[in-house]
Structure 1
Amino acid sequence: MIKVLVVDDDFRVARVHADLAARVEGIEVVGMGHTAAQALELMAEHRPDLVLLDEHLPDEPGSQLMRRLDAAVIMVTADGDADAVRRAVAGGALAVVLKPFAPEALVSRLVAFVRFRRALEGAGSLDQAQVDHVLSVLHGGGATSLPAKGRSSVTAEAIRSALEASDDALTAADVAGTIGVSRATAQRYLSDLVQAGRVELSLRYGVTGRPEHRYAWRG
């Protein structure tokens, strides 16, 4: 589970944010703080992975506090001033969500963070394509599985889109023709996705008796 700490000076707002976060699969809300001092105490106690942080705290600005937090941060603030956004980004915020907001605005960013963390599970050293891929996942795009080294995240995403768009399972030849790559290339990427559990492989026997491999996106 991904541990989330909520920090907002208004305890009612903090509860709303905590309830939204708790609705996201894979997230556990481990605490709520209302000052910078409380945030630091809860950090030491729970060691959260992510902090939902308000800018206007009574004892220290959130954009200043975040530099002392050993966790990822999403700023949730009513301050839409350009300088405030700049400070948040400079301090390391993954995203800035402005109050008031529709629930989906926060939930979608939390879901993206969960997908980002899952994409990195078990990964060792990454190449540039893999780094690009996990960062695209963090910002709400891309498939959840990490492409193998030497694979293109663009090709992997094209294959995912082709499978998702089809009502029926596809062969490697079908996928290759759809996205404009060789059958061998499509087969390599499809094998990666099967191993990652993102694609379901089934066999269909034709008149020759040789099984035809067919692939369907598992969603």
Structure 2
Amino acid sequence: MSAASDDLVVLVVDDDFRVARLHAEYAARVPGVRVLEPVGTAAAARRAIAQHRPGLVLLDAYLPDESGLDLLRDIDADVFLLSAASDADTVRTALRRGALCYLIKPFAADALTDRIAAFQRFANVVPADPARTLDQEAIERGLRIVHSGDSPGGSRSRSATEQAVLDAVERADAELSAVDVAERVGVSRATAQRYLSGLAADGSIRVQLNYGSTGRPEHRYLPRG
């Protein structure tokens, strides 16, 4: 069965075969994405990019024959850097050399799928089309989408966990803490807190501070309405 001509073609570059397969599987979950056979070296990546012209490359920073950061500097492609490296110098170098996204391994599937879906929307707003011209508003919107999912209140797709967290807040008859949400959704407090922070940041829910007897403020979450 052939892929649609407008599918986003994704190439995974990682020398760990199991990790490469896992990231390829994550990417394939996104509708409208076709994933190429993963490759494990910079040389193989150069050949695959020249042959297939992928719309997005998921690149590891550590490759056996060349630094992924050096490869990033040389290739003409949109790239997400996926790396276990969390030092500021590596992150800054990746961003300076053109990485659109930096994900620290290991990460959950939705951390990658959400960003690929955002990249698809970015590509619609800022297409790789030399005949198109863009105004400043389109450029700013494209940057918002690729870096944060979309503008506040946008209709971006949500992961199942994020939607469950949002539903828990919206259906509650009182304000909730992160612990309350975690118990209702069936996730850890840290996971609930991460999604709650993101939903509050994009305006999907409201957050207020309550001061208890200890004097330390507690974040409480309410529906946007």
Fold match by TM threshold 0.5: yes
Structure 2 equivalent of residue 111 of structure 1: 117
Q: 1:137-152 maps to which residues of 2 (within 5 A)?
A: 137-139=145-147, 140-142=149-151, 143=154
Q: Cα deviations across residues 37-90 of structure 1 (Å, max 9, x unaligned)?
A: 110111111111110000010011111101221210000000101111011111
Q: Pick from 47, 71, 82: which aligns with 1:41?
A: 47
Asked if residue 2 in structure 1 is aligned to residue 40 in structure 2, the reply is no
Matched, 1:65 2:71: yes
- C-alpha distance in structure 2 between counterparts of 1:15 and 1:128, whole Å: 39
1:58 is paired with a residue whose SS is coil
The yes-or-no answer on 1:76 pairing with 2:82 is yes
TM-score, normalised on structure 1?
0.63
Q: Is the 8 A contact 1:55 1:77 kept in 2?
A: yes
Question: How many matched pairs?
Answer: 146
Amino acid corresponding to residue 5 of structure 1 in structure 2: L
8 A Cα contact 2:79 2:98, kept in partner = yes
Residues 67 and 91 of structure 1 are in contact (CA less than 8 Å); yes or no, is this contact kept in structure 2? yes
Distance 1:115 1:66 in 2: 22
Q: Which residue number in structure 2 is paired with residue 90 of structure 1?
A: 96
Task: Give CA-to-partner distance per residue, 1:138-194, whole Å, 9 cap, x none.
Answer: 22113579xxxxxxxxxxxxxxxxxxxxxxxxxxxxxxxxxxxxxxxxxxxxxxxxx
Identity of aligned residues (%): 49
**C-alpha distance in 1 between matches for 2:88 and 2:41:** 24
Q: After superposition, give the CA deviation of every residue in 1:108-133 in whole Å (9 maximum; x if it has no partner).
A: 11110011112345882111112111
Partner of 1:195: none
Amino acid at match of 2:13: V
Match for residue 135 of structure 1? 143
| Cα RMSD after superposing both structures | 2.1
Tell me the TM-score normalized by structure 2: 0.61
Q: Could you list the runs of 5+ residues in structure 1 that have no partner in the other structure? A: 146-219
1:16 to 2:25 alignment: no
Is the CA contact 1:3–1:28 (under 8 Å) kept in the aligned structure 2? yes
Quick one: which amino acid aligns to residue 134 of structure 1?
G
Other structure's SS at 1:118 match: helix
Q: Which runs of 4+ in 1 moved over 2 A?
A: 118-124, 142-145
Q: Which runs of 5+ in 2 are unaligned?
A: 1-6, 157-225
AA aligned to 1:141 is D
1-structure distance, mates of 2:155, 2:55: 19
Q: Give the distance between the partners of 1:46 and 1:117, measured in 2 at CA.
A: 18
Report the residue type matching 2:89 in the other structure: D
